[in-house]
Structure 1
Amino acid sequence: MADPSNRICVGAIGGAFGVRGEVRLKSFCAVAEDIATYGPLWTEDGRQSFAVRLTRPVNGGLGARLSGVETREQAEALKGATLWADRGALPALPDDEFYHTDLIGLTVVDTGGAVLGRLRAIHDHGAGDILDVAGPGGALLIPFTRAAVPTIDLAAGRIVADPPGSDE
């Protein structure tokens, strides 16, 4: 089994679908169907792994069969579980793209170098990603665009941000 700290969350189980152990799967992948190609997928605690076979699109996600899950009760017991792929199974990204998990916890500074806080989450509510920065004055939400986030330096562990309205 690979190192659990070297895994990336790629989806979650929304619950049972049907009566024969099928699950409703929410994919966090850029191309939702790619989730089935990164297997095996692991539960967050690393105790269970599954091969994934997609069956059909369903309302709110994808229908899927998970290896070893044969009954509705087994599928329902997995409701809410997140699914994690070994980093090595995921594609390499271009220089200007990042896995969200690699950004969480980085220090966020403004263009003058003043610390704004730490990145605690990245949200996507449909209109584009939003950086959720925990700062000394509370939460700061920054659109994840090139204009608002001109530089990400993973080696230095920092994100340079120019939040809208910061030059007023």
Structure 2
Amino acid sequence: MKRRMLGSAGLGLAVALLITGCGAGQITQTDTQEAAINGASAQAGTIAIRDAELAFPEGIQPPAYLQGSNAEVFMSIVNQGGRVDELVSASSDAATNVTIQGERSLPGGASLAISPAAPTAGRQLHGEIVIEGLRRELRPGQTIVATLNFRDAGAVEVELPIMSPHEPRTSGGQGEGGH
């Protein structure tokens, strides 16, 4: 009787292991999920680029960057390594020039906030990047590629989308349903 119970228990355990092992090594739904942010991410060695995007174009309807205009860049650059690295240059085929101002040196374990205005909280490093002289009109939903060159980490391409507006979207005079 004990042998039969042990045999049944062993068989049940083997079936349970077989069933749970069937999913091992399979592609899961979460393996390709991205963070729920609008900006792009990129990596070059120990340098991580996070939430990279262009400022939302203000003052023109419909919103757009006109050919020849400038666009300000927002992003966080994080040095995940232990050694100091430096943002040496930036470029884009979509513009005539890319300028960098402010802090360029990035100590190990530190982050550099790239934005038009310095961060108000903490002692975060701050720099500015401006895409100058866009070669084409650029509207929300479109992107441009910028290349950032670091002294040690090398070059990294970042696809820059236009950020979402800060103001909520209105119905455009089409009533409450927005039809």
TM-score tier by shorter-chain length is: under 0.3
Whichever structure has more strand as a proportion of its residues is 1
Q: Quick check: which has more Rg, 1 or 2? A: 2
Q: TM-score when scaled to structure 1?
A: 0.23
Q: Which has the higher contact order (CA 8 A, sep 6+)?
A: 2
Q: TM-score when scaled to structure 2?
A: 0.22
